[in-house]
């Protein structure tokens, strides 16, 4: 019994010592925290500051504003898109620098652009031409467009309003941006698969797709298609993309000839639209300004009008006409792309400007291009 009492006393003494040590350690931590806080306030305080008055916050800096903005974004619910947030406003990013800068055209060369037609020379060209006529017929039916025969341009039943023009242009550009992307994608994958260079074809094809998309983005600033139109675009793009993809795998030369014919029709469309504006048939476009995205991409003047925009777009289309007809004349897996892989041979060669288009509106033959 005596041994048990001694054991209890020893246990109580041990617990007392542990509690004492823990308590003293806890107190030391509290004292240390208090002293640290006290000296921190003492050091940061000004010598003559009044403790009864609150100090004015330091002036905001650019880094501080950005930090506060990032903190507010982190606190927001990331599962829901906040449309009031600057990052969600599309108009802040539509004017980003162009991935492919426009080469720039002068008005004299743009004014000399004319309608031109490549005559089919072989069976492959006839296939491409007939395919284009089929697509053109479907396109005209979808947009309600009727091309007037010569001498009937002013006939009331052939007059097109500004809304009808925008509807046709948006439909056209949404389709015209597909071939360049498909061709660039196929050739890109082929280059990866065969472990070799592509002779500079990929760059020009992707640049063409980018240019056509800039056309679409520009005209989308002038109109807002309805649900029916958007549904038609969805179906048309799905059918055309898959058809063109398979065709490009089978015979890319016919595909480039087809795109050349397609661009011929685009030049016809924009030429007629420009003529309608000059005749006063579209009064709402006489002095209408162009969107800012067009001014930045084409480096247009601040007072540019819709007619000026159409001159630039038509010039782009005529250049695509020349490029694709030229590519259709080359050996697809052997020849270089003369528009990107330039060789100085002392005579006129294909170039990105419009001067070569004036002399070769429907493309260059293979024997005209330097080896």
Q: Which residues are annotated as a binding site for Fe cation?
A: 173, 212, 215, 263, 317, 320
Contacts of 290-293 spanning 24+ positions with Cβ under 8 A: 290/218, 291/218, 291/221, 291/222, 292/95, 293/94, 293/95, 293/214, 293/217, 293/218, 293/221
CA angle 89, 93, 94 (to 5 degrees): 105
Query: What are the binding residues?
Result: 173, 212, 215, 263, 317, 320
CB atoms within 10 A of CB 354: 21
Rg of the chain, C-alpha, whole Å: 35
Q: How many helices (H) and strands (E) does the chain have?
A: 11, 0
Choose among 261, 290, 289, 314: nearest CA to 109: 314
- Cβ within 8 Å of residue 3, ≥6 positions away: none
Nearest to 305 by CA among 283, 327, 323: 283
For 249, half-sphere exposure in the C-beta direction (CA atoms, 13 angstrom radius) is: 6
Sequential DSSP letters for 278-337: HTTS-GGGSSPBPPHHHHHHHT--TT-BHHHHHHHHHHHHHHHHHHHHHHHTS-TTTS--
Rounded distance, CA 328 to CA 335, Å? 11
Contact 220, 287 (CB under 8 A): no
């Amino acid at each position: 019994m005596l041994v048990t009492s001694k054991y209890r006393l020893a246990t109580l003494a041990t617990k007392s010592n542990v509690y004492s040590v823990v308590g003293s350690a806890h107190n030391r931590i509290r004292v240390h925290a208090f002293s640290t806080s006290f000296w921190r306030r003492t050091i940061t305080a000004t010598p003559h500051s009044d403790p009864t008055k609150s100090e004015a916050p330091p002036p905001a800096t650019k880094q501080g504003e950005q930090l506060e903005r990032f903190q507010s974004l982190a606190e927001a619910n990331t599962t829901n898109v906040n449309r009031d947030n600057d990052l969600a406003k599309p108009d802040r990013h539509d004017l980003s620098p162009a991935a492919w800068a426009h080469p720039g055209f002068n008005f004299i060369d743009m004014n000399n652009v004319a309608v031109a037609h490549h005559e089919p020379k072989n069976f492959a060209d006839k296939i491409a031409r007939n395919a284009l006529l089929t697509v053109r017929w479907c396109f005209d039916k979808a947009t309600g467009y009727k091309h007037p025969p010569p001498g009937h341009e002013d006939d009331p039943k052939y007059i097109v309003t500004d809304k009808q023009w925008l509807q046709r242009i948006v439909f056209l550009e949404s389709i015209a941006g597909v071939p360049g992307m498909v061709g660039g994608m196929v050739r890109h994958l082929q280059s990866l698969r065969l472990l070799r260079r592509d002779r500079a074809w990929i760059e020009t094809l992707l640049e063409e797709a980018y240019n056509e998309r800039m056309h679409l983005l520009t005209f989308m600033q002038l109109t807002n298609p309805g649900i029916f139109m958007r549904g038609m675009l969805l179906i048309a793009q799905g059918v055309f993309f898959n058809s063109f993809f398979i065709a490009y795998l089978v015979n890319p030369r016919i595909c480039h000839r087809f795109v050349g014919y397609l661009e011929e029709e685009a030049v016809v469309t924009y030429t007629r639209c420009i003529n309608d504006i000059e005749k006063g048939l579209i009064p709402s476009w006489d002095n209408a300004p162009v969107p800012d995205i067009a001014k930045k991409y084409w480096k247009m003047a601040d007072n540019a009008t819709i007619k000026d925009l159409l001159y630039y777009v038509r010039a782009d289309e005529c250049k695509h006409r020349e490029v694709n007809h030229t590519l259709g004349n080359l050996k697809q897996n052997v020849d270089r792309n003369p528009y990107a892989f330039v060789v100085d041979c002392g005579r006129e060669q294909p170039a990105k400007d419009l001067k070569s288009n004036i002399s070769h509106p429907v493309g260059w033959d293979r024997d005209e291009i330097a080896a």
